[in-house]
C-alpha cells in the first residue's frame, strides 16, 4: 500500500506547517446549493489548516470539463487535486497523470478509478438501503416505483441503485422498479422526466430522485400533477431545496449527509495525504469532526464520513444549506 511523507496532523501544527500547500478542489458543477455547502465546509477547514484552497468546477456536470481543469491544475503544479467525479473512467487517465507528476489526488462525493484517497460521504449500501426502506415504509413491500437519476455514468448514483436492487432481491421480492430516466444534473429536465414517468406509468406509487436537482424537480412534478400524498418521492438533496415539499406534504424523507462536513473532511484528508504518512489503519484528525480511521479498498485508501442522515418535518427547518 502506498504511503505518503511525514506525520499525523493537529489543527495547530498543520496551520503552521502547511502554509505552502495548494489544494485544487473540483466539484461536479458549481452554482447549486449542494456544492455551495461543500465549498463552505472546505473553506472552513482550509482556514483552520492555513492552506490555499482553489474551489473551481464546471458550470455543467460534464467529465470533459473536469478533465480540462485537472490538466490545468497539473500544469500549475498544485499540491493536491481533489475532485467529485462526473465519470470515474473518463477522469482516471488525467488523475493518473496528476499522480505521476507527484500531485496527491483525492476524490470525494463521487469516486474515480485513480486516486490516493476517497472521502466517502456514506457507504453506497447505507444510502441505497435508506432510500429503499423509506420508500417501502411509504408504499409497501409490493409497491411500484421509478427512478430519476442524473447520468447513467454517475458512479455514486449507480452504486446506490445497485444497493437498492440487491436489497429488493433479498428482502422485498414483490417490489418493482418499473422505469428509470436519466435527465442529467438539470432540475427542469428532471421535472420533465418525472412528468413523463407519471404519464407513461399511471400505476406508479413512488419516485426515487437521486441527485440534489432531480429531487426538487421530481417533487415539483408530483405536486403540480396533484398527486402529493399519492405518489411518494424519496431522494437526496439539500434541506433548503426540499423544505417547501416537506412542508406541503409531497415529500416525507430527505436522505443525505451533511455536505458542509463532507467538504470540511475532504480538505483535512487532502492535507493529511499530502503531508502525512497515511496508510490503512491510521487515524486522521479532522478538527471539529474528531478522528477518522483510514481503510483500504479496491483502489487505494478510503475515509468514511458516516451514516446517512434523514431530514423530515421534525428537523428540516433547523438546517440552512
Per-residue pLDDT of the chain in tens (321 residues, 90 and over written 9)? 333 333 334 433 333 344 589 999 999 999 988 899 999 999 999 999 999 999 999 999 899 999 999 999 999 999 999 999 999 999 999 999 999 999 999 999 999 999 999 999 988 899 999 999 999 999 999 999 999 998 888 888 999 999 999 999 999 999 999 999 999 989 999 999 999 999 999 999 999 999 989 999 999 999 999 999 999 999 998 899 999 999 999 999 999 888 899 999 999 999 999 987 799 999 999 999 999 999 999 999 999 999 888 999 999 998 877
61 & 106 share domain? yes
218 & 116 share domain? no
Measured CA to CA, the distance from residue 53 to residue 42 in angstroms comes to 8
294 & 235 share domain? no
Output the pLDDT for position 12.
Answer: 34
104 & 185 share domain? no
Task: Give domain status of residue 320, yes or no.
Answer: no
154 & 204 share domain? yes
Q: Cβ distance 285 to 100 under 8 Å? A: no
Task: Give domain status of residue 14, yes or no.
Answer: no
181 & 193 share domain? yes
72 & 128 share domain? no
142 & 185 share domain? yes
Output the pLDDT for position 57.
Answer: 97
Output the pLDDT for position 124.
Answer: 87
148 & 225 share domain? yes
Task: Give domain status of residue 241, yes or no.
Answer: yes
Measured CA to CA, the distance from residue 311 to residue 257 in angstroms comes to 9
Task: Give domain status of residue 316, yes or no.
Answer: no
159 & 233 share domain? yes
* CATH classification at residue 209: 3.40.50.2300
Q: Is the dihedral of CA 274, 278, 280, 283 positive or negative?
A: negative
104 & 162 share domain? no
Question: What is the domain count for the chain?
Answer: 2
Output the pLDDT for position 85.
Answer: 94
Output the pLDDT for position 318.
Answer: 83
Measured CA to CA, the distance from residue 280 to residue 151 in angstroms comes to 32
Output the pLDDT for position 32.
Answer: 87
Task: Give domain status of residue 319, yes or no.
Answer: no
Output the pLDDT for position 13.
Answer: 37
Range of the domain at 43: 22-121+259-306
Amino acid at each position: 500500500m502506498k504511503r505518503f511523507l511525514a506525520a499525523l496532523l493537529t489543527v495547530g501544527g498543520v496551520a503552521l506547517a502547511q502554509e505552502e500547500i495548494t489544494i485544487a478542489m473540483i466539484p461536479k458543477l458549481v452554482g447549486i446549493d449542494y456544492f455551495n455547502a461543500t465549498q463552505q465546509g472546505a473553506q472552513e477547514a482550509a482556514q483552520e489548516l492555513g492552506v490555499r484552497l482553489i474551489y473551481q468546477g464546471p458550470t455543467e456536470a460534464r467529465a470533459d470539463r473536469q478533465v480540462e481543469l485537472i490538466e490545468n491544475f497539473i500544469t500549475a503544479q498544485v499540491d493536491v487535486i481533489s475532485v467529485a467525479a462526473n465519470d470515474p473512467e473518463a477522469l482516471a487517465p488525467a488523475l493518473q497523470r496528476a499522480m505521476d507528476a507527484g500531485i496527491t489526488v483525492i476524490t470525494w462525493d463521487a469516486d474515480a478509478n485513480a486516486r490516493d484517497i476517497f472521502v466517502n460521504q456514506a457507504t453506497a449500501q447505507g444510502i441505497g438501503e435508506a432510500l429503499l426502506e423509506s420508500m417501502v415504509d411509504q408504499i409497501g413491500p409490493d409497491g411500484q416505483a421509478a427512478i430519476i437519476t442524473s447520468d447513467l455514468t454517475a458512479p455514486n448514483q449507480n452504486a446506490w441503485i445497485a444497493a437498492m436492487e440487491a436489497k429488493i432481491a433479498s428482502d422485498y421480492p414483490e417490489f418493482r422498479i418499473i422505469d428509470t430516466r436519466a435527465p442529467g444534473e438539470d432540475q427542469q429536465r428532471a421535472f420533465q422526466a418525472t412528468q413523463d414517468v407519471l404519464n407513461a406509468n399511471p400505476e406508479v406509487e413512488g419516485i426515487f430522485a437521486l441527485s440534489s436537482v432531480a429531487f426538487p424537480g421530481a417533487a415539483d412534478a408530483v405536486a403540480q400533477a396533484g398527486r402529493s400524498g399519492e405518489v411518494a418521492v424519496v431522494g437526496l438533496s439539500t434541506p433548503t431545496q426540499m423544505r417547501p415539499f416537506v412542508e406541503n406534504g409531497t415529500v416525507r424523507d430527505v436522505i443525505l449527509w451533511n455536505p458542509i462536513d463532507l467538504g470540511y473532511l475532504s480538505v483535512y484528508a487532502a492535507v493529511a495525504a499530502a503531508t502525512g504518512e497515511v496508510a490503512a489503519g491510521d487515524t486522521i484528525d479532522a478538527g471539529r469532526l474528531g478522528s477518522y480511521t483510514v481503510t483500504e479498498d479496491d483502489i487505494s485508501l478510503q475515509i468514511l464520513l458516516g451514516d446517512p442522515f434523514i431530514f423530515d418535518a421534525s428537523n428540516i427547518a433547523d438546517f440552512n444549506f
